[in-house]
């Protein structure tokens, strides 16, 4: 291979590997056993000559790594993730390294996990499973694990981008929930969908579903029974859900987070869960992964899973393929796909930002 490409992790499927090796690339996949690679580990992987790197969301892609990659002749980096809060885009720009991410293929998979956590929290599935396995079930009782009916309740979506909109549609259509959402942009297609579905229900003699675009995030917090967070993580969304905002939610609300951990002040969340036993939470992400804040693991009203929202076979193979295409494309002179493309105009003056 003419070009040396490094992948900091082994990734699912073989298509991404074949793509690279069939197009003049020598691919090196890091086999290091430890889960999270340090900056030093990655600098060693980059070495003296490296044309592009496929990296992971657990890695800190900042000044040091982009400078090392640039010195090694590298032109491209792709995160195997849609989120890019682990990437310092200004540093990448400074060193002339194009950055890519992998949106699209994980939209439905991630929304499906958010829906799974919603159902699991609403119907207390994890608690009930533990109860059963502990041998505590000694007969049917009218009070046993009574949860929430979703039908007719209001689902609140904070961040109605691809994933947030897909989740909203699942909850509205699947469970006949009303929608309230907050986003800086109007989710026109989502609104149209809910309007049309509402009309369909009405024509069927059923109660129609409704939608509302909230003027503020607090409006969603106050009105929704289920709240799911789907923003990107940046300075403006760090601790978006804090003590004050938790206090605005209904006492029996359910909060779901499949975005990034630091969007919630997790210490405040633990306090809130302790003080409000009817408040429930479903978390895929944590503030200091892989750790949880003290107390969270003991709380029955929390369901916690280890950042697996995009973990379906089809999606993970798709993410690996897109990441490889990003790096390969750049090496071959094409622009890479990046959601924040507006900040790297140097890339290709004729490249169009993603729609």
The pair of three-digit structure tokens given for residue 274, joined into one six-digit string: 């302790």
Q: How far is the CB of 322 from ligand GLV (least distance, A)?
A: 10
Cβ proximity to ligand GLV: between 168 and 296 the closer is 168
Q: How far is the CB of 166 from ligand GLV (least distance, A)?
A: 8
Task: Tell me which of 163, 281, 320, 324 binds ligand GLV, using CB under 6 A.
Answer: 163
Site for ligand GLV in 2-31 (CB under 6 A): none
Cβ proximity to ligand GLV: between 57 and 155 the closer is 57
Interface with ligand GLV, residue 164, by CB under 6 A: yes
Name the burial class of residue 349, with classes exposed (0-12), middle (13-18) and buried (19+) by CB atoms within 10 angstroms of its CB: exposed
Cβ proximity to ligand GLV: between 162 and 280 the closer is 162
Q: Minimal CA–CA distance to 101: which of 63, 37, 57, 47?
A: 57
Number of chain positions touching ligand GLV (CB under 6 A): 13
Interface with ligand GLV, residue 233, by CB under 6 A: no
Build a one-symbol-per-residue string for 106-125: x at contacts with ligand GLV by CB under 6 A, - elsewhere.
xx------------------
Do 233 and 259 contact (CB within 8 A), yes or no? Answer: yes
Q: How far is the CB of 160 from ligand GLV (least distance, A)?
A: 8
Range in contact with ligand GLV (rule: CB under 6 A) among 143-151, 161-169, 175-183, 291-299: 161-169
In the bound complex, which residue of the shown chain has the CB atom lying closest to ligand GLV? 161
Task: Tell me which of 213, 230, 245, 280 binds ligand GLV, using CB under 6 A.
Answer: 230
d(CA 210, CA 193): 10
Q: Which residues are catalytic?
A: 260, 289, 307
The pair of three-digit structure tokens given for residue 314, joined into one six-digit string: 């089809």
Do 113 and 258 contact (CB within 8 A), yes or no? Answer: yes
Backbone angles phi, psi at 341, to 5 degrees: -55, -25
Backbone angles phi, psi at 52, to 5 degrees: -165, 155
d(CA 255, CA 302): 10
d(CA 61, CA 50): 15
Range in contact with ligand GLV (rule: CB under 6 A) among 44-52, 129-137, 155-163, 197-205: 155-163
Task: Tell me which of 4, 75, 124, 162 binds ligand GLV, using CB under 6 A.
Answer: 162
Interface with ligand GLV, residue 261, by CB under 6 A: no
Backbone angles phi, psi at 57, to 5 degrees: -70, -15
Name the burial class of residue 23, with classes exposed (0-12), middle (13-18) and buried (19+) by CB atoms within 10 angstroms of its CB: middle
Range in contact with ligand GLV (rule: CB under 6 A) among 15-23, 159-167, 265-273, 343-351: 159-167
Q: What kind and span of H or E run contains 256?
A: strand 254-257
Distance of CA 178 to the CA centre of its chain: 23
Interface with ligand GLV, residue 161, by CB under 6 A: yes
Do 89 and 343 contact (CB within 8 A), yes or no? Answer: yes
Site for ligand GLV in 282-321 (CB under 6 A): 310
Binding site for ligand GLV (CB under 6 A): 57, 81-83, 103, 106-107, 161-164, 230, 310
């Amino acid at each position: 291979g003419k070009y040396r490409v490094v992948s900091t992790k082994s990734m699912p499927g073989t298509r991404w590997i074949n793509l690279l090796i069939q197009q003049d690339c020598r691919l090196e996949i890091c086999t290091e056993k430890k889960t999270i690679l340090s900056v030093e580990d990655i600098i060693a992987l980059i070495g003296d000559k490296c044309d592009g790197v496929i990296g992971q969301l657990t890695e800190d892609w900042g000044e040091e790594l982009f400078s090392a990659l640039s010195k090694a002749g590298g032109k491209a980096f792709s995160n195997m993730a849609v989120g890019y809060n682990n990437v310092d885009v200004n540093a990448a720009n400074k060193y002339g390294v194009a950055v890519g991410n992998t949106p699209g293929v994980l939209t439905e998979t991630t929304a499906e996990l958010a829906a799974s956590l919603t159902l699991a929290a609403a119907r207390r599935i994890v608690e009930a499973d533990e109860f059963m396995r502990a041998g505590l079930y000694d007969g049917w009782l009218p009070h046993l694990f009574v949860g929430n009916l979703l039908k007719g309740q209001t689902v609140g979506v904070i961040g109605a981008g691809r994933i947030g909109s897909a989740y909203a549609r699942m909850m509205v259509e699947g469970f006949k929930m009303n929608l309230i959402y907050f986003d800086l942009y109007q989710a026109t297609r989502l609104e149209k969908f809910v309007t049309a579905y509402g009309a369909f229900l009405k024509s069927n003699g059923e109660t129609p579903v409704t939608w509302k675009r909230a003027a503020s995030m607090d409006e969603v917090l106050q009105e929704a029974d289920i709240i799911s967070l789907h923003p990107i993580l940046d300075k403006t969304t760090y601790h978006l859900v804090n003590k004050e905002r938790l206090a605005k939610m209904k006492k029996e609300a359910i909060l779901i987070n499949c975005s990034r951990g630091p969007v919630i002040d997790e210490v405040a969340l633990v306090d809130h869960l302790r003080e409000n036993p009817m408040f429930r939470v479903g978390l895929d992400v944590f503030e200091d992964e892989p750790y949880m804040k003290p107390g969270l693991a003991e709380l029955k009203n929390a369901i916690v899973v280890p950042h697996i929202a995009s973990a379906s076979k089809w999606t993970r193979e798709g993410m690996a393929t897109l990441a490889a295409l990003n790096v390969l494309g750049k090496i071959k002179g094409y622009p890479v796909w990046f959601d924040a493309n507006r900040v790297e105009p140097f890339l290709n003056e004729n490249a169009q930002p993603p729609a």
